[in-house]
Amino acid sequence: MSTITALGLVLLVLMVLVGGKQGWTAFLSLLLNFGFLYFAIVLIAFHVPPLFVTVTTGIIILAVTIFMGEDDLRTTVTAFYASLIVTAVLILLIVLVEHWAMVQGFGTEDSDDLEGMSILIGISYFKVLITVTTLSTLGAIAEAAMAISAGLTEILTTHPEASDRQLLRSGMAIGRQIIGTTLNTLFFGFFGGFLALFIWFAGLHYSLGTIMNNKIFVAEMIEILISFIGVLLTVPTTAWIMTKRRSKVAPR
Amino acid sequence: MLEHYWSRWRLVLLLVLSLVGAAALFFTSHNQQFYQRPIARVERVQPGAVRRTSDQFQNVDHQHQQRLTVRLLNTAARGQQLTVSNTYSDSQPMDLRYHRGDQLFLSQLKSRHGRLSANVAGYKRDGVIVFLFWLVCLLLLMMMGSAGALALLSVLVNTILFILAIIIDLKNNGEHVMLIFGSLAVIFTVVSLLLILGPTKKMLATAAATIIGTFTALGVSLLVFNWTHERGIYYESMQYVTQIPRPLFLAETLLGSLGAVMDESSDIIATLFELKQLNPAVSRTTLFLSGRSVGKSIMGPLVNVLFLIFMADTFTSSLLYIKNGNSWGYTFAMNMSLGTVQSLVSGIGIVLAVPLVSGFGALLLGRRTLK
């Protein structure tokens, strides 16, 4: 048995033991997300326009993560709408920023891995980069939207008379509670993955100026900062959607 | 409420941040003197010949020549004009198409008979990071106030610690990687939680739970590695490796999952403290069960957060592998296997943390139930 299969089985058993039915759906959502991600690569390889792939895969991954992560429809529908809006805004920002930064494709540090490869594949690496950056932020947006939405659903259930203003304020208050740990999750998630690259930079004594203009470093920083922005935008957006959907969440 | 929201200090903050942002952007577009490498601005672009390329996998692309008239912005020859040539392709994997107004780095700058010549060596992109960082600061401080400031501070402190650990790692020539980054993980946890929660009993409980959860997950995963003899893990496919890959990979995995486990632990512990406050006589069993019910609803989304971060980075190289005629299986093994292992190990950490944190919190806060 390969290590990946064994680790997957361990994860499955643990998830079911800890979470029961919910643990099982959580595992299934991970599998589905993997499938859709891989399918997105294959679609782009078959020259399907990357932006189209980004939007459809993005919507599917958000739906899988949100609707399979939680059963309460009052929470999930709000979270789903909010994350769709935030993702749309983010894609615009990503296109603008990546156009300015021009960090598509590979850096000189990748040369070793590219040896013997034909890199002129006739697919715009710029568009692929938009896909990559968008996909990497989706999880964070979905998670933040669900946290805010769940908190507000709770408030609406216990205080159905709360005004829209109070709801917005409570949404921001919940946001303040989660922002510290959420930013840490993203920081460690991204920095953990790039430990080797940073050791490379430090070991070869790259100057600050070189690092700040390095293609791979800038691409990575853009991903981190864009997901920070995504999470920050999610907080008021979710609260706002909740005020629009309040009659469906907690009928007076 | 709007009047209240736009209180005076917020307006002052907005004004100060806008000024700082404008100054920072101005600085990054005029900081050429601080660079040793020659920098020039593109003033004119003349398109040149186009050549069609194709490879044995029927990938078709076009290579374009362009002649760029550029003006030097630093070095002794500052202000002088020269022309350089550049080649770019439709897909732009390692080459770039330059436009008027772009700033670029030059190499091999030479002067022969008063005529300057140089090669294009890259694009200047420091302004982008500065702009985005400023945008994050603006949103954080304007929307989240002091909580945002603390979150920002914790990220900055962690960055400094991270750099320090890398320097220590290099001093040791890549030995004791796990010791260095293992201790770093403990320090990270304590520092981040101190900044977010303050020096409270809650913070101690969360930190202890996070550390136990993360390291148990790594232990369990190492056991699985042992049983399966690490079959299907291709350390040679790890990118940017300058040291022995295996310990480096384990350190990456440990750090990668740390934030998520911390996130989850603080949510669970916060709920348990709240329950204890509402009912000081609450039993351990009740605490454990409510901890578990909080944990099981957040573990799924959290695993997906990390999964997408780890896997998105393998997207471009996987695409390249497929376009180079490799099978889907080989493409997965060479690009995504490490990311998958990382996601699974982090997932195990996130799931294991639920009973561990709930149990720990229950022991700490609950009253012994007599049977």
Q: Which residue of B has its CA nearest to A116?
A: B324
Residues 74..103 of A with a Cβ closer than 8 Å to B: which? 97, 100-103
Query: How far apart are the C-alpha atoms of B295 and B328, rounded to whole Å?
Result: 36
Residue linked to tokens 């997965």: B332
Contact state of A199 with B57 under an 8 Å Cβ cutoff: no
Task: Give start-end residues of each CATH 2.40.50 domain in chain B.
Answer: 33-124
> pLDDT value at position B5?
58
CA–CA separation, A140 vs B327, rounded Å?
31
Q: Say what the pLDDT of residue B366 is.
A: 79
Query: pLDDT tens digits, residue range A115-147?
Result: 889 999 999 999 999 999 999 999 999 999 999
* A and B: number of Cβ contacts within 8 A: 409
Please give the pLDDT value at position B4: 56
pTM: 0.94
Tokens 């390095």 appear where? Answer: A214
Tokens of residue A37, six digits = 């991600």
- A202 CB near a chain B CB, below 8 Å? yes
Task: Identify which of A14, A172, A182 has the shortest CB distance to residue B352.
Answer: A14
Which positions in chain A touch B255 (Cβ < 8 Å)?
A: 188, 191-192, 195
Q: Which residues from A are below 8 Å from B228, CB to CB?
A: 1-3, 6
* Average pLDDT over all residues of chain A: 93
- Residues A193, B310: C-beta atoms closer than 8 Å: yes
Dihedral of the alpha carbons of B149, B150, B152, B157, in degrees to the nearest 10:
140
B28 phi, psi to nearest 5 deg = -70, -25
Domain B33-124 adopts which CATH fold?
OB fold (Dihydrolipoamide Acetyltransferase, E2P) (2.40.50)
DSSP B223-285: HHHHHTTTTT--GGG-TT--S-HHHHHHHHHHHHHHHHHHHHHHHHHHHHHHHHHH-TT-BHH
Q: How far is A240 from chain B (nearest CA, A)?
A: 14
Give SS3 for B85: strand
B233 contacts A4? CB cut-off 8 A: yes
User: What's the confidence (pLDDT) of residue A104?
Assistant: 93
Question: Among B239, B304, B315, whose Cβ lies nearest the Cβ of A30?
Answer: B304
Q: Least CB-CB distance to A222: which of B96, B132, B144?
A: B132
Query: pLDDT 10s per residue in chain B (371 long)?
Result: 444 556 788 888 899 999 999 999 999 989 999 998 999 999 999 999 999 999 999 999 999 999 999 999 988 888 999 999 999 999 999 999 999 999 999 999 888 888 889 999 999 999 999 999 999 999 999 999 889 999 999 999 999 999 999 999 999 887 889 999 999 999 999 999 999 888 988 898 899 989 988 999 999 999 999 999 999 999 988 888 888 999 999 999 999 999 999 999 999 999 999 899 888 888 899 999 999 999 988 999 999 999 999 999 899 999 999 999 999 999 999 999 999 999 999 999 999 999 999 998 898 887 765 44
On the question of pLDDT at A28 being above 80, the answer is: yes
Q: Out of 2.60.40, 1.20.1640, 2.30.30, 3.40.50, which CATH number does the structure's domain B172-365 have?
A: 1.20.1640
Cα separations in angstroms, A175 against A88, A144, A223, B140, B221? 21, 8, 21, 11, 33
- Distance between CA atoms of A191 and A196, rounded to whole angstroms? 10
Distance from CA of A248 to the nearest CA of B (A): 22
Instruction: Measure the CA–CA gap between B349 and B212, rounded to whole angstroms.
Output: 10
- Contact residues on chain B for A198, CB-CB shorter than 8 A: 162-163, 166
**Chain B residues with CB inside 8 Å of A26's CB?**
296, 299-300, 303
Distance from the Cα of B97 to chain A's closest Cα (Å) equals 9
Query: Which residues of chain B are in CATH 1.20.1640 domains?
Result: 172-365
Residues from chain B that touch A65, judged by Cβ atoms under 8 A, are: 300-301, 304
Cβ-based neighbours of B98, under 8 Å, separated by 6 or more: B42, B45, B66, B68, B86, B88, B104, B120, B123
* Close Cβ partners of A139 (under 8 Å, ≥ 6 residues apart): A61, A65, B301, B304, B305, B306, B307, B308, B309
Most distant CA pair in chain A, distance: 67
B115-123: strand order across its sheet: B81-89, B60-72, B39-54, B103-112, B115-123
Q: How far is A94 from chain B (nearest CA, A)?
A: 11
